[in-house]
Amino acid sequence: MLVVDGLQAWYGESQVLHGVTLEVGDGRVVTLVGRNGMGKTTALRCIMGIHRQKRGRILLDGREIGHLPPQQIARMGIGWVQDDRGIYGTLSVLENLLLPPVVSDESWSLDKIFSVFPVLKDQAAQSGSKLSGGEQQMLAIARVLRMGARILLLDEPTEGLAPLLVERVREIVKEIKSHGLTVLLVEQNLRFATTVADTHHLIVNGRTVRSLSNQEVVREERELLEYLGV
Amino acid sequence: MEIVLVQVFNGLISGAFYALLSLGLAVIFGMLRVVNFMHGALYMLGAFGAYLLGVQLGVSFWWALIISPLAVAAVGFLLERALLRRLYDLNVLYNLLLTFGLTLVIQDAMRLRFGVQGVPYSIPAQLRGAVLIGFMFFPTYRLFVLGFSVLVCLGVWWLIEHTRVGMIIRASTENPVLTRALGVDVDRWIPLVFAFGVALAGLAGVLAAPMRNVSPLMGADLIITTFAIVVIGGMGSILGSVVTGFFVGVLSALGAVYYPPAANTLVFIVMAIVLLFRPSGLFGSPEAG
Ligand SMILES: Nc1ncnc2c1ncn2[C@@H]1O[C@H](COP(=O)(O)OP(=O)(O)OP(=O)(O)O)[C@@H](O)[C@H]1O
Ligand SMILES: [Mg+2]
């Protein structure tokens, strides 16, 4: 279980997170939903140990991990899929998959990866930069599954994708969940979020203001959309 | 026509040194984001290493070609662990200044010990004389330097393209933050990559010993041109540094024939033009850097 408690973060003098609190239970899909610039990406970067100007608690299975460097956090089974997908153009698709070390028994074999993401098999020898946006998203997710992530941090995986591909990302998130893995999904798209997640955390101006079950979000969708301004 | 061919050949020889030096600089810059000003001084140490091994221990050129670069690598490794690594979190200028300072220290220490004149180092017996190719004679040793450095560049390229370490170097060059966040222990490779990069400088130094004067300042002029080459090729680009190294070697050699006053400036003119149109260099990608 991943718990973030009272997380604050700064860029130089300016504070952008004022108290992010969320709980991601094992095997669940949990979202952090909020508008542009509310601090979603920053929160993920704090969890990954990349952003260091922070205060507050980050616990993985009860253990404080806030002070650890990114490579150790990844090795504990947290897989980061960054907002621009972070596909290496100087590496082939296959190399992109093989770059992270295998960190747990949960690691997906290449066979399994290729059966779930057949496009990656067809393009394995291509440079990562040759892939389309949707394919890069698949690769970024597949890469941390290969690593053996137990918890995936997905930063707006549907951003800029055509409806058909959004559908595909939805299937993949469900597939990940069906394997017992855990997902923390950052989204602006509340509609998409409600089709895959169990619980939601709303973030406004760097503060998580409400935590809701999926039913509650579906029920209050109108007001919430207005509230979030998304 | 003949003079052009001769100059192209001579240019390729200078290019061979530029390529080896800028290759090392590029690998180091890519992985460490350090502009290693010491590179020329370590090239010089490589040449002196060969000289000292020969004079003091009677070690042949061939053994020196292996031992001296390894010794330079060891020096690089120690300097990285002792000094450079302390500055990674600061602006890149700090390490530029540090390596610049170390350059002065190394050069002056060598000057105190060996004077400015330099010391002689002779061409190994097997490589004396000249070879007739087509209608011209080429000095055997220079042909060897050219062939050997091309092989080394190809070898390094192969390492970087086809091994796991190479993959980590490429990934860290392109996106160091993400590479760490994917669980790769980048820091473990940093001193080794630095040592490897400076070993290439040491190797170039050994190759230079029999054909250039082995002197404390032999790396000082070379390094400025080499920096220009790295910038033209694209900071951190392996292919860019090698191709540009040979290209600039030939260009300067031809410049020396057609318009001697500009021979030394030519590379900087090229650099300015390239930067105008492609700020990240000929082979660089805008993201890396
Ligand atoms: N490198 C930076 N330096 C200074 N301020 C930054 C930096 N990165 C982000 N910010 C600021 O921090 C705030 C939160 O940004 P963040 O990227 O975390 O938001 P986000 O919710 O992910 O937004 P988006 O939906 O656009 O991805 C914004 O106001 C942004 O301008
Ligand atoms: Mg964001």
Tens digits of residue pLDDT in A187-197:
998 889 999 99
Confidence of residue A198 (pLDDT cuts 50, 70, 90): very high
Coil vs helix vs strand at A20: strand
- Domain presence at residue B142: yes
- Domain presence at residue B263: no
Using DSSP, how many helices (H) and how many strands (E) does chain B show?
A: 11, 2
Number of independent structural domains in chain A: 1
- Tokens read off for B94: 């700090």
- Domain presence at residue B33: yes
What pLDDT shows up at residue B286? 63
The model carries a pTM of 0.91
Task: Give, for ligand 1, the residue of A14, A18, A35, A41 to mutate: max count of ligand atoms closer than 8 Å to Cβ.
Answer: A41
Determine contact: A133 vs chain B, CB below 8 A: no
Q: Which ligand 1 atom lies nearest to the CA of residue A43?
A: 18
**Which residues lie with the beta carbon below 6 Å from any ligand 1 atom?**
A 11, 16, 34, 36-42, 83, 188
- Domain presence at residue B126: yes
- Domain presence at residue B240: no
Coil vs helix vs strand at A52: coil
Confidence of residue A230 (pLDDT cuts 50, 70, 90): low
CATH number at residue A36: 3.40.50.300
Q: Compute, in angstroms, the gap from residue B200 CA to the centroid of ligand 1.
A: 42
Q: CB–CB of B182 and A75 under 8 A?
A: no
Confidence of residue B183 (pLDDT cuts 50, 70, 90): very high
Cβ neighbour number for residue B128 with a 10 Å cutoff: 12
pLDDT at position B38 over 70 = yes
- Domain presence at residue B88: yes
Closest CB to A89 among B174, B178, B180: B174
Handedness of CA B230, B232, B235, B241 (dihedral sign): negative
Range of the domain at B29: 23-219
What pLDDT shows up at residue A157? 95
pLDDT at position B98 over 60 = yes
CB neighbour class for B74 (10 Å; exposed up to 12, middle 13-18, buried from 19): middle
When pLDDT is averaged across residues B210-214 and rounded to a whole number, the result is 93
* A63-64 sheet: strands from edge to edge: A63-64, A54-60, A2-11, A14-24, A207-213, A199-204, A29-33, A182-187, A151-155, A78-81
Q: CB–CB of A91 and B185 under 8 A?
A: no
Size of interface A-B (CB pairs under 8 A): 64
- Domain presence at residue B261: no
CB A71 within 8 A of CB B183: yes
The DSSP secondary structure of B83-109, one letter per residue, reads TGGGGTTS-HHHHHHHHHHHHHHHHHH
Residues in chain B: 289
- Domain presence at residue B235: no
Number of independent structural domains in chain B: 1
Range of the domain at A93: 2-228
Chain B residues lying within 8 Å of A74, measured CB to CB: 180-183
Chain A residues lying within 8 Å of B171, measured CB to CB: 88, 90-91, 99
Q: CB–CB of A100 and B174 under 8 A?
A: no
When pLDDT is averaged across residues B171-188 and rounded to a whole number, the result is 95
Provide the mean pLDDT of chain B: 93
B114-170 tens-digit pLDDT: 998 989 999 999 999 999 888 888 999 999 999 999 999 999 999 999 999 999 999
